[in-house]
Chain A
């Protein structure tokens, strides 16, 4: 079962849940803005049929990169570690111990590791910690993928990242080969990467004469990247909106608010995140509220 895109419960064989996960704010300080990395709080198992309760709870501990390093049980007086992991920077486990170390599948980057293959599932792509690469290329920018996500441009822009501008970079690389400094929320290029690419493109365009084929190509890339940056920012804004509305609702009572919706421009007219939106973090009244179904 998923609170899209994050798993909150493992499959139900015979309608009996086996494991459920409690999630909190991730590295982005929202529920899903960083793909749930660093947001895992607890793993519960031992479902008591009929009561809806779980008999056993274990609590995750993660490092600054959101990698699960340990899990503790819930004994109030003598809590002990039931899982313990050590990774290399790219996520290969070189040590693990504890009674739940194998049963728990959420490990590096708080992502699910496939037990047989050892691959990590990031939502959009599978990552192989041994080769330190994604198995397939970044789908951002591919016509089929963009169509599926809803391309807003009236025409298709071909290539995604000007690979030749970034020595050594490729679309299979994991977090630009720097897992200590970066994380990947879901297997797609992150806001930070897009911003860096844009800065490099600007630098590149300074040396290209306007109207040259090189300039046109760079401008095309730039428009595409700004489009992706826009979508990522919108997504993050929607996440923050939902998160903040939830926090206020909890303290003041849900239902006390009129139902407003932020327009999800990515999906053209669908309103995906709701309840409440105004300019919480800028303190002026420049807000756009829409009720439009």
Chain B
């Protein structure tokens, strides 16, 4: 991913995670799902653990097309135990269509 795209994506994700009422950041993200997916695959660790937790919580609803790919990649790359636990729970929901 180009440096400028990565920086812009990081900034918009941070803005939106800090405040979901930030409409500009929200619009930016929903119209650029591919950038976000590329970011999630390569540069996700630039976000803090808290930010990643928030991001994983919204991933499915906000990026439905890229969700499965992002989930698979993050399950592979994520190192933080709390994040891994959340990703596993989301994966379980995704597999079963809801709940354990």
A residues bordering B, Cβ < 8 Å?
152-153, 155-158, 191-192, 195, 198-199, 202, 205, 210-211, 213, 215-217, 219-220, 222-230, 233-234, 236-237, 240, 262, 265, 281-282, 284-286, 288
Q: Known contacts A216-B98, A220-B98; decide if A281 and B60 are in contact (CB<8 Å).
A: no
Name B32's contact: one of A198, A223, A286 (CB within 8 Å).
Answer: A286
Contact A217 B23 (CB under 8 A): no
Of B43-51, B72-80, B84-92, the stretch lying at the interface with chain A is B84-92
A191, B4: Cβ atoms closer than 8 Å: no
A8 to chain B, nearest CB (A): 27
Instruction: Indicate the member of A199, A205, A211 with the most B CB atoms within 10 Å.
Output: A211
Known: A281-B24, A284-B8. A265 touches B30 (CB 8 A): yes
Contact partner of B4 (CB less than 8 A), chosen from A156, A225, A237, A286, is: A286
* A234–B61 CA distance with the chains assembled, in angstroms: 13
A229 & B89 in contact (Cβ 8 Å cutoff): no
B20 within 8 A of A: yes
- B-side interface residues toward A, CB under 8 Å? 4-5, 8-9, 20-21, 23-24, 26-28, 30-35, 57-58, 60-65, 85-86, 89-90, 93, 97-100
Alpha-carbon distance between A115 and B58 when the two chains are bound, in angstroms? 44
- Of B9, B62, B100, which contacts A230 at CB under 8 A? B62
Contacts of A155 in B (CB 8 A): 97-98
Q: Are A195 and B89 closer than 8 Å at their CB atoms?
A: no
Give the distance to chain B from A264, nearest Cβ to Cβ, in Å: 10
Tell me if B31 and A152 are in contact (CB < 8 A). Answer: no
Given contacts A223-B60, A223-B61, A229-B61, contact A234 B31 (CB under 8 A): yes
Residues A233 and B23 in contact, CB atoms below 8 Å apart: yes
Query: From residue A13, how far is it (CB to closest CB) to chain B in Å?
Result: 43
